[in-house]
Amino acid sequence: MLTRIARRCLVMGLLFLLTAPALRVWAQDEPASPQARTEALLDQAKKAGGKGQLPQAWRDLDSRFKTARDEGASPEQWAVLEQDATLLLNKATFVSEMRRQKSGLEALLGRYDQSLREVAALFGVTPDPVLTGSAAAADLLDRLNTINYHRQVRVDSLSVVNRRLQEQVGGTVAAQDSLISALTQEISGLRQKLWETELRAGVAEADRSAAESVLTKKQAREAAIATLRTSIGPGEGEILLTADGAILMRLHGMAFAVGSAELKPGQEVLIQKVADAIQLFPGAGVRVEGNTDDTGSRQANLRLSRRRAETVAELLETRLDLSTGVIAREGFGPDRPIALNDTAEGRAQNRRIDVVLTPGPK
């Protein structure tokens, strides 16, 4: 997350600083065909000095244009050539503009270094005072990557601890409290970052809005998880959080007739609770997974678990007014036990339906 935000800040700052009047603007008599537009762009780029100032890029694009013209390129290939020609024109116009401005490169370097210092301050990093330009940017990215690496190590450590807790207590809710605590700490950190962002002069409004959006989403997710845990009773199932951020509803209380994919009577309430839980997480992907114990052949259990998953998925699609097949379904048979099959209690735990909610778009 840190590297993504850092790169976004860098890109936004540099786009603001480097924007030049080299954008593509067509007249009313814009050429109708992609070939004609590409040829016109090449002509403009040549007039802007692209052939002399960017010789390698010019030769490559000119050669590709002639090949496409002579051999008959597809519309998709012409679209790529037109885009590359627009980029070449923008580059040539920008270089020409920099060459015409006195001290243009010096001023550009100053603004570039100032942007790097603002990004460094945003993340509490002290830049090297003797570096400038690309060397300073590379040094800053190395420092941010180091911070990200240490955070990833901490995340990996939490994942290891979480797996150990699951092995010790059988994947109970207590093993997931550390993940909730981590989310709470992250929200506190985002609040602090948001406060610091608002105090720093020159920080873009877009960055502040993005931080607020992330904070709001995380708060909403935390509240939805708390609601979900209160709605599913101990005899019905348990709610787990995976290391990759997915929500796992492990439904021991969803019972089927022996050797059948038909739900036993009285399951409507639990089906409705699962449907309500899915609606708490708009945009999340939904997958229903069937599991069995190891009684009988593996192939028969795989087929049975798949049929049971399909039964639950179809009921949920009906409750949620979704098209058939929107909810993914899969059967794992006896391949994913959570308890030993040596005892009746262990086999009962392994006979279950898991409903997995994967995070939606961020």
| 110 located within any domain | no
242 is a domain residue: yes
Residue 343 falls within a domain, yes or no? Answer: yes
Quick one: pLDDT at residue 359? 82
Which secondary-structure segment (H or E) carries 4? helix 2-18
Confidence band, pLDDT 50/70/90 cuts, at residue 31: low
180 assigned to some structural domain: no
> CATH number of the domain that 342 lies in?
3.30.1330.60
Give the per-residue pLDDT at 16. Answer: 41
Q: What was the pLDDT predicted at 126?
A: 86
Number of domains in the chain: 1
Q: CA–CA separation, 356 vs 128, rounded Å?
A: 47
**Helices and strands per DSSP (H, E), number in the chain:** 12, 5
pLDDT, tens only, 79-136: 999 999 999 999 888 888 777 765 566 666 676 778 888 888 888 888 888 878 778 7
Confidence band for 15, pLDDT divided at 50, 70 and 90:
very low
Is 271 a member of any domain?
A: yes
The C-alpha angle with vertex 329 and arms to 328 and 334, in degrees rounded to 5, equals: 145
Tens digits of residue pLDDT in 316-345: 999 999 999 999 999 999 999 999 999 999
Would you say residue 73 has pLDDT above 90? Answer: no
Where in the sequence is the domain holding 271, given as residue range(s)? 233-358
pLDDT in tens, 174-224: 656 777 777 778 877 877 887 777 667 555 565 656 656 666 677 777 887
Q: What is the pLDDT of residue 211?
A: 55
Residue 27: predicted pLDDT: 44
* pLDDT of the residue at 2: 43
217 vs 28, more confident: 217
Q: Is 238 helix (H, G, I), strand (E, B) or coil?
A: strand
Reported as a single tens digit per residue, the pLDDT across 250-298 is 998 898 988 899 999 988 999 999 999 999 999 899 999 999 999 999 9
**pLDDT value at residue 12:** 44
* 28 pLDDT higher than 60: no
**Is 190 among the domain residues?**
no
| Residue 341 domain-assigned (yes or no) | yes
**Among 286, 306, 291, which residue's Cα sits nearest to residue 246?**
286
User: Tell me, what's the pLDDT at 169?
Assistant: 62
What pLDDT digit, counting tens, does each position of 220-251 carry?
A: 778 878 888 888 888 888 999 988 889 999 99
323 domain residue, yes or no = yes
Q: How many residues does the chain have?
A: 362
* Strands in the chain per DSSP E: 238-241, 247-251, 285-291, 328-331, 352-358
In angstroms, what CA-CA distances link 150 with 2, 66, 176? 11, 51, 22
